[in-house]
Amino acid sequence: MARFVSQRDYRFFQHINREIVSDIIDVGVILYKIINDEVSVNIYGESTSKTRYRGIQLDAALIRYTKQQPSGEDGFGFDASQQEVEFRFVRKLLNDVNVYPEIGDIIKYNDNYYEIDNINEAQLIASRPEYSQSIICETHLTRKSGLNIEETHI
């Protein structure tokens, strides 16, 4: 059945995805991109400071919180700093604003900042690479104090 999905079918799926994510769900996030030319590195090739672009408003994201596990063996509850969240974007919507999330970028959502740890692009329609549908960003909660970003006022 997978070989019978045409380009027209793929465009239809993209249209439906855009409509659902943009018009119905409509969850906005801000993506802060790293300026690679201004990153200073030490003798080991590790960055000592990261300069970031001004935030880019993305109005179409799906957000999935992963299940938290109790921290440590003490059993005193959850560690809020270990919160992991998946941000899912429709590829076509990101192409429209000419932006692509990368590892190390920061996503602001609900007054919290999440650093991207991994990017997954393996969500394909009909198992065909040319019909890539979404970009999934695996992130973790990070502190604002260590970030060098410019706030955008919406």
Is 154 part of any domain? no
Q: What is the CATH number of the domain that holds 121?
A: 2.40.10
Q: Which residue has the higher pLDDT, 69 or 145?
A: 145
Q: What radius of gyration do the chain's Cα atoms show?
A: 18
The confidence score (pLDDT) of residue 81 equals 55
Q: Which residue has the higher pLDDT, 24 or 103?
A: 103
Is 152 part of any domain? no
Is 126 part of any domain? yes
Q: Are strands 84-90 and 106-109 parallel, antiparallel or unpaired?
A: unpaired
This prediction has a pTM of 0.76
pLDDT, tens digit, for every residue of 26-73?
788 999 988 777 777 778 877 776 666 778 888 888 888 877 665 555
Mean pLDDT of 87-113: 89
In this prediction, residue 1 has a pLDDT band, given cuts at 50, 70 and 90, of very low
pLDDT, tens digit, for every residue of 124-144?
777 777 777 788 999 999 887
Number of folded domains that form the chain = 1
Q: What domain range includes position 87? A: 2-71+80-146
